[in-house]
Structure 1
């Protein structure tokens, strides 16, 4: 393998592929990045790939390829070197010979030991295309629901984000049992497996569903692109992708968990495996109706909650006491530090006052995830689920369980 590539293109390709490098692995080959040089009519390409059996990342960049071939090099080392190469318009020359890869950039030269390429597992190919979505919108939606995803690996469904694809909407859902976040965004279906409409059968539309690791999906979404369409690919029913039993169903993400969902934009590609777990019937958790709601400016409320959290533990309650025209945010009890702040709120004078106690960290997460000037807090009773949305909109819903006090 012998090629020339711009310093910037190499740094970008290596940085992207390094997302799939495992933090640690008992398989030495997985700590490497696979470099694949190929020739075509336009001059050639360099593909840089990383893989850890759960997630793969691949970047395809243009290069002047003199000799096609493959080389497996220590991934973290190559990533560090690619960032540290000198500027000044120098190109990078890569050449594999014997047991080493020579890397030359202007006055700098390194020799990297090669890892046996035959030890590297076969990279998964992108599954059939399901559709596409705006990259910036998708990244925002993933971040909004990932904030509630759990980290308890003994309950896999809590560590995932459920994707539901219907004819015109992509829904993302996550929960940690104490909170639930749902975000709906527009997407463009492609020619892959599509939702059943139930036309003529009286059945509700059933979404195509997939449960993906939240950590991997968040990393992919925020790094993939901010200004392009993302193409979403998915494996068929026989490997884990399925249809839900309605929007609140467990979906088809049980079984082996061997299916894949892939994402691509520009020269970047990534895949992640489905979680072999069923999701909860989350729709039944949302109240069928609300007793009332209050409208508050988001940033002042977020600032007040953060201030009150300073006098109590992040995981202890902050109380929101609503009365006509205002809300009092307070924390702490007798014998310890206490704080209180009053804010203007849209709360009708003819409605009975209500106090909700909530985990301070949960309120901070929910208010931070909402991208709006005013939030609306929907409630039923002080001990039943409450829901935060943007005022007058429900494309993002953040449900949390109030805490019992006294």
Structure 2
């Protein structure tokens, strides 16, 4: 007699499959050891097991497999042939239906691609040069440089209605700025402008008039008079930044930008703290909002549970990009993002992810 392991090896059925077919009453072992429960099969059962393995690979339903094996063991070839033919017809119908569904799916994909191409091929809008220059300056510092995340190595131009919103992020910080835009009334369109092209565009924004921005497929171009900068956009999808626009309630503090920058530059830092996202050490400033609305840069022994730790270099960059004598800091829980906003201006802001302090 054959053990269950030998039967599995010679039949093409796994041990677990043989146990399953035993419990299902399809292929019963010739003898089961009453003490160990071990299954044993007669040599003549090997051919039946191989047939079962073949039927299983074709996807035949278990009820039909039972009938085929019954017809096989009772030498009823006509019954077996009829069952096999019926199953083959089912497979052919299923394949035809699958081909039809895939054909419809390809048509849907092609139609969507055509709509996307047509929606971007004729996009043109006019943007005030000073506003676009200020928006690029406000977000440029937050763009990523990680080659493994190419979609972050640019500035998102998010065009919707009469507004052009610019966004940049490297996962640890994000900056959003908005400008007015005229001349485009189509659906919302997004294009990621690579940093070298964004910098070339910024170099052309020296006048007080308007410039023209156009998107043609994967090409984006800015025209300022007789000068222009254009190139291919990044093909990767940009993260949905809108999920971070609405932050939890936080404590607000109005700061004198230059005085606060000086406090950061000369104040205490936690040298060598690590950003847990990428294990890179950085200088960290720990901030706390007092009851009278002031922001303190904390000493090592001046922490409390409401203190927020941030990458000092990132915060200095965000303050410079804010380009205002006064800014508003929003500090929530120690694990919540810190926001930097311009007083009376809801069109732009920066977000910095907090740093978890090591013990």
TM norm. shorter chain > 0.5: yes
Distance 1:290 1:322 in 2: 14
Contact residue 268 and residue 298 of structure 2 kept, 8 A: no
Distance 1:400 1:210 in 2: 24
Distance 1:281 1:234 in 2: 20
1:149-164 aligned within 5 A: 149-164=143-158
2:323 is aligned to 371
2:190 is aligned to 209
Q: 1:227 aligns with which of 198, 208, 214?
A: 208
Instruction: Confirm or deny that 1:141 pairs with 2:130.
Output: no
1:243 is aligned to none
Distance 2:250 2:142 in 1: 25
2:80 is aligned to none
Contact residue 261 and residue 273 of structure 1 kept, 8 A: yes
2:258 is aligned to 299
TM superposition score normalised by structure 2: 0.58
Q: CA-atom RMSD, angstroms?
A: 2.5
- Gap change, CA 1:144 and 1:288, over 3 Å in 2: closer
Aligned length: 228
1:329 is aligned to 297
Contact residue 285 and residue 311 of structure 2 kept, 8 A: yes
Distance 1:294 1:162 in 2: 29
Distance 1:315 1:222 in 2: 31
Q: 1:316 aligns with which of 275, 279, 283?
A: 283
What whole-Å deviation, never above 9, does each CA across 1:230-289 have from its counterpart, x for those lacking one?
Answer: 111111xxx3xxxxxxxxxxxxxxxxxxx1011111210121211010011222234443
Whose helix proportion is higher, 1 or 2?
2
Query: Residue 188 of structure 1: SS of its match in structure 2?
Result: coil
- Gap change, CA 1:135 and 1:324, over 3 Å in 2: same
Whichever of the two has the greater Rg, that structure is: 2
1:309 Cα deviation (Å)? 7.2
Query: Residue 354 of structure 1: SS of its match in structure 2?
Result: coil
Distance 2:317 2:151 in 1: 20
TM superposition score normalised by structure 1: 0.52
1:361 Cα deviation (Å)? 0.6
Distance 1:152 1:392 in 2: 34
1:4-403 aligned within 5 A: 128=122, 130-190=124-184, 194-196=185-187, 207-235=188-216, 239=217, 259-308=218-267, 312=271, 315-325=282-292, 326-330=294-298, 333=300, 354-403=306-355
